[in-house]
Amino acid sequence: MKRLVFLLLISIIFSLSACSENKEDIVEKTLETKETIESYTTDYGISIDVETEFRNESSSVQGNATIAEKPAALHQIFTSTTTNDESTVEGYMVGEDSYIKEGDSDWIHQNIDPEAIQFEPSYKDILDIIEKTQKNTEFKEQDGTYQLSFEGYNQEIYDVLASPFSVELTGFQVDKDIEQKLIILINKDDYTVQTLQYDIVADNADTGNITMDIHMDYNNFNEVEEITIPEEAKNYSS
């Protein structure tokens, strides 16, 4: 009997040790992935709905990008949609060359500074968001991921996410009119960021209502093949 009790105690202690990782540990390991990530892909979407006394408008951007950090290179396709229009843009940025094509038009070539090649918000930008907002987020494990989340209003979170996502709400009292919902999912296996979801609702009786929905998924870490400019772009560019 004593041996059985002893083994049970050992089992309980082991289980507690296995579950001892807290938010600070997870965030630290996630931030450390900055040093190991050299390439990745992302699928993203941003939608904005505006309702005022004078206008109702909706717009969105849906796209995907393949990014290499060393050496820097980028391939991106996105579709912009408004109430009355829709357009698709594809672009390559490799070395000193940029090729961009809108819809069925010809490719346009420009010379660029290789140091200017960057997708925004980059994976490192998301890590920066995690580092600066971690003290204001709740932490839990869910469906094979670690989740950092916040719901309500927080000025620091608003400021941190304003720049990378170009969020600027004028005509609102941010501390009274705005509700935020932030969810960041971290992969349990390798501590990479899997998803960022950021929703903002601004509502004021005089100004109107604005709803913003931002979603980003990150995949294929360090599995991206070399990004090259297709011959079609080189041959049909102006």
Query: How are strands ordered across the β-sheet holding 108-111?
Result: 108-111, 97-102, 86-94, 73-82, 56-68, 39-51, 208-219, 193-204, 178-187, 145-152, 138-142
**Which of residues 38 and 115 earns the better pLDDT score?**
38
Q: Is 235 exposed, middle or buried (0-12, 13-18, 19+ CB in 10 A)?
A: exposed
3 state DSSP class of 225: coil
DSSP 55: -
* pLDDT band at residue 10 under the 50/70/90 scheme: very low
In contact, 124 and 104? CB cutoff 8 Å: no
The CA-based diameter of the chain, rounded to the nearest angstrom, is 84
pTM for the full model? 0.87
169 band by pLDDT with thresholds 50, 70 and 90: confident
Tens of pLDDT, residues 128-164: 999 999 999 999 998 889 999 999 999 999 999 998 8
